[in-house]
Structure 1
Amino acid sequence: MPGKSVNRDVHLAVDLGAESGRIIAGQLSGELLSLQEVHRFPNVPQRIEGHLHWDIEVLFEEICKGLAKAGRLFGKNVRTVGVDSWGIDYGLLDREGNLLKQPFCYRDNRTDEVIDEVFEIIPRDELYKKTGIQIMSLNTVFQLAAELKSPDTSLEKADRLLFIPDLLNYWLCGVSRTEYTIASTSQLMDMRNGDWCISLIENLSIPSEIFSRPILPGTKLGPLKPKIGEASGLEGVDIIAVAGHDTGSAVAAIPAENERFAYLSSGTWSLLGIELKNALITEKTFEYNITNEGGVSRTIRTLKNISGMWLVQECRRQWEQEGENYSYADLTDMASRATPLTALIDPDSIDFIKPEFMPERIWKYCLDRGHDISKDKGRTIRTILESLAMKYRYILEQLEEVSQTTLDPIHIVGGGAQNRLLNQFTADVTGKKVLSGPVEATALGNLIMQLVAMGKISGLKEGRQLIRKSFPPETFLPAVTDAWDSPYANFCNLVGR
């Protein structure tokens, strides 16, 4: 009797983060999905004429290098490619499809002076009610308002707006479309119906014709451009519009077994939320500034953005510039040996939004509140991790209140899921079971939608079962819970409850 044929098809996930980018190859073999990193490269914003921009051409060059590596490794077995990235940021193209300027980085300060002007046109509460999106100064709506005010605005010449993964898809295959999950981060859509809020766009004098109707994750766009296909050895490989927002892809990869779970996508940002069928837009969600972003299979990601491992990343970068090199494991080990619960910060304080000099900012923040942790790197990192865990509990309680649901367990996915100390802190302070992993959730969610597009799996439920079986999560149970009660009360006072 002949042996069972082996599926050698390869699917490539291009996953761009605020710190680095990767190309991950996925292969479905029987009931298991395996991953192999093909290419990794840094992603560093560039300061041009006083503003932070992404070097999008360099990122595209690195993607093409990674595709060529995949071509050498897997040849004709490569079937599809999908791209995901951070949200909000975009490129503007003219009628010939040329990029008018390098995309701005969401951490640029150009939106600082336009927020109040936007609220004069559309009040803060009305903006939220129209869109269901968390008010944040970095949102696309404020970036475009700043673009309108700029003396060298590109909007007058713009024919279309493409978010980062949409722009890269366009360069890869020549098809210009806007994917739903990435568009939903803009605060320019009505999340009740999943389409552009044209009245809002026109009230702000933003040209509505630059926006194209969003397409759903799992849509085939077209094959690689012949020149790219020939150079990489991947002629005819299809580009799939996956969940272009990296968090949308990460949430698709949650190995959940019930509908009452909370998820925490832990990376540069921590995104803590729940999965719903409809947007949750109420007076209370506005008060709590809870967002409703698009998910795969027409789901809604009702969540809160929290400044996550960004604080640790920036401390590490600053110390590296000063000649002291530490791995993330080194910093976590230092934190584990530091005295617990000696200082607290609000990770989302405006003091920590901008890059550079993060350790000094944290030390000043603590000193201003009577806690001196200056120069103590272990206590600094521990303070960040303990404060993050407390912010997770704080937001989780809000989500339980607005959804009227007791959430359990907490699934932590993404690169931050590797921080076992933070995972345990989260279990301890919340009193809930924490399931950690997969680390490569974003790439896996990206790959799941490629498999759906190619008809290899039926949908989100089967994809999550596949991930759970391929990458079993690690369990963290609450241990020392009482010690957190008094510090948590102090934390609530700090953040203004």
Structure 2
Amino acid sequence: MATTTDYLALDLGAESGRGMLGRFDGERLGLEEMHRFPNGPVQMLDTLYWDLPRLFDEMKTAIGKTAAVKGSLDGIGVDTWGVDFGLVGRNDTLLGNPVHYRDARTEGMFDAAFKRISRDRLYEITGLQFLPFNTVYQLLALKLSGSPLLDSAETLLMMPDLLGWLLTGERAGERTDSSTTQLLDPRTGEWSDEICRALDLPRNILPRLIDPGSELGMLRKSVAAEVGVSQPLTVIAPPTHDTASAVAAVPAVGPPAAPGAPPDWCYLSSGTWSLLGVEVGQPVITPETQRYNFTNEGGVAGTTRLLKNIMGLWLVQESRRTWARAGNEMSYEQLMAMAMSSRPFTALIDPDDPSFLSHGDMPSRIAAFCKRTGQTPPDAEGPLVRTCLESLALKYRWTIERLEGIVGTKIKTIHIVGGGSKNTLLCQFAADACGRPVHGGPVEATAIGNILMQALGRGRLGSLQELRAVVARSFPVTVYEPRNTRAWDDAAGRFEQLVKD
């Protein structure tokens, strides 16, 4: 009988975090949720922060609960969202609390950056999508505001690396999350000295880089004693960017494509954000990828994730919070039922319109977009949610069509993974809008990819192909076949008029 190895994934998302125990017997992976906790921003004076002390405390709770069940673990791995970071100074001093990417400090930073380095040159070096909250603009905001933090910093650590440092005392930058900074050259795999010089950012604070699956270090003795871990415990750097872990766990099986050939499937990591793309062997940095604002982010096993960040279920999440603040509390299940019974295609929006990015009254912003584009705004909660979901599905279609042209392939299957794969209405809309079957699941793809990449790093798996075969054997998927595509073809024509290339 094969030996079972046990790994803990500490998987933190923008709305919640979880500690997931994975038991791998060499053929299949079993998952058990050990601890789940909410996450979200904290407003303090004029700045929006992440509550790092509480997040770290929740992680320790997850480790402690797991240690009480399992006497020993073969590894722990942390993954989070991208772009955000913390600064560490002398004597392992944490310099402030990490700022949330939706904070207003990056307003105007595009213009400030492009006065120092051209937009074209910045994209040519990094191949990264222009998003106003990318790490480079957050750092530039610190620089231009005269913040003393940069002068005191020894090391910049992205959020998962920061949490890894709190666990181990080791400072390192895992490549997949580092690739979201717009400071990394994906061709060389190294930090860009040219960008740092152009923007007058301190190159010396950028950490040494490590590959996903690398051992980061041993759990601090003080943390181990606090949570009741008696055996030495290794912290492993999985793909620390949550999307990279999720993409690693896409259950795409079958014969591998010929060397250099693009895949015939795409992934959609669905949650607060929708990250839709293809896995390629090397960065794709062309005038077309820049025109359509595609991004090249680090993947596993030497791959690149060529993708587009789409606003995602944030539109629904923030609308729900707005209604709750007004005393109208509704579950997601209620909202989806109301959306399903609403009339189709009454209004459409571009999910990536800049007005939808920040916290606040989302229904009013959606209504303003509709009025601005000559449409009648949704008049109730159900129609508004349906507008969001239909518009997301049409943005997926728009993105896939452009991806096919860029990489020269025909996408046959859409793999939707992550929490959004539970949204059956959105999955069906995606199949209908795109005219392709959607394979939904696994829901916990990020934790699964985290765990199995730890196993790969430990030598329990030999390749990414083997890893995905384990996922396919271990977790079922739901298949959504396209239907009523003609109505979606008509809606796509309207949608094209709303989306600016």
Alignment TM class, shorter chain as reference: over 0.9
* Equivalence map 1:321-332=2 (5 Å): 321-332=325-336
C-alpha distance in 2 between matches for 1:330 and 1:462: 40
Structure-2-length-normalised TM-score: 0.96
Residue 238 in structure 1 maps to residue 238 in structure 2: no
| Cα shift at 1:191 | 0.8
Alignment partner of 1:464 out of 436, 450, 468: 468
C-alpha distance in 1 between matches for 2:190 and 2:7: 29
Cα deviation 1:408-443 (Å, max 9, x = unaligned) = 211000000111111111111111111111010000
Alignment correspondent of 1:430: 434
| Cα shift at 1:190 | 0.6
Residue 62 in structure 1 maps to residue 66 in structure 2: no
Given that residues 373 and 379 in structure 1 are in contact (C-alpha distance below 8 angstroms), is that contact kept between their aligned partners in structure 2?
Answer: no
* Equivalence map 1:320-399=2 (5 Å): 320-399=324-403
Alignment correspondent of 1:441: 445
Alignment correspondent of 1:298: 302
Residue 154 in structure 1 maps to residue 149 in structure 2: yes
Alignment partner of 2:93 out of 86, 98, 101: 98
Alignment correspondent of 1:202: 197
C-alpha distance in 2 between matches for 1:36 and 1:415: 16
C-alpha distance in 1 between matches for 2:388 and 2:441: 21
Alignment correspondent of 2:120: 125
| Cα shift at 1:474 | 1.1
Given that residues 196 and 213 in structure 1 are in contact (C-alpha distance below 8 angstroms), is that contact kept between their aligned partners in structure 2?
Answer: no
| Cα shift at 1:324 | 2.0
C-alpha distance in 2 between matches for 1:60 and 1:150: 29
| Cα shift at 1:459 | 2.3
Cα deviation 1:374-399 (Å, max 9, x = unaligned) = 44100000000000000000011110
> Secondary structure, in 3 states, of the residue corresponding to 1:496?
coil
Given that residues 249 and 449 in structure 2 are in contact (C-alpha distance below 8 angstroms), is that contact kept between their aligned partners in structure 1?
Answer: yes
Structure 1: 5+ residue stretches without partners:
none
Residue 142 in structure 1 maps to residue 122 in structure 2: no
C-alpha distance in 1 between matches for 2:293 and 2:372: 27
| Cα shift at 1:114 | 2.1
Residue 484 in structure 1 maps to residue 488 in structure 2: yes
Alignment correspondent of 1:19: 15
C-alpha distance in 1 between matches for 2:415 and 2:456: 23
Distance 1:6 1:488, change over 3 A: same
Alignment correspondent of 2:223: 228
Of 89-98 and 359-368, more deviation after overlay is shown by 359-368
Letter in 1 for 2:392: L
C-alpha distance in 1 between matches for 2:190 and 2:409: 28
Alignment correspondent of 2:67: 71
Letter in 2 for 1:476: Y
| Cα shift at 1:5 | 6.1
C-alpha distance in 2 between matches for 1:181 and 1:141: 16
Letter in 1 for 2:78: V
C-alpha distance in 1 between matches for 2:192 and 2:339: 46
| Cα shift at 1:463 | 0.7
Alignment correspondent of 1:34: 30
C-alpha distance in 1 between matches for 2:74 and 2:343: 52
Letter in 1 for 2:470: L
> Secondary structure, in 3 states, of the residue corresponding to 2:315?
helix
| Cα shift at 1:29 | 2.9
| Cα shift at 1:138 | 0.6
C-alpha distance in 2 between matches for 1:131 and 1:53: 27
Cα deviation 1:284-310 (Å, max 9, x = unaligned) = 111111100001111100000000011
Letter in 2 for 1:25: L
> Secondary structure, in 3 states, of the residue corresponding to 2:149?
coil
Alignment correspondent of 2:257: none
Given that residues 191 and 294 in structure 1 are in contact (C-alpha distance below 8 angstroms), is that contact kept between their aligned partners in structure 2?
Answer: yes
C-alpha distance in 2 between matches for 1:238 and 1:328: 38
Structure 2: 5+ residue stretches without partners:
255-262
Alignment partner of 1:269 out of 273, 276, 297: 273
Letter in 1 for 2:344: P
C-alpha distance in 2 between matches for 1:463 and 1:153: 45
C-alpha distance in 1 between matches for 2:146 and 2:116: 21
C-alpha distance in 2 between matches for 1:213 and 1:298: 18
> Secondary structure, in 3 states, of the residue corresponding to 1:298?
coil
C-alpha distance in 1 between matches for 2:339 and 2:299: 35
Identity percentage of aligned residues? 45
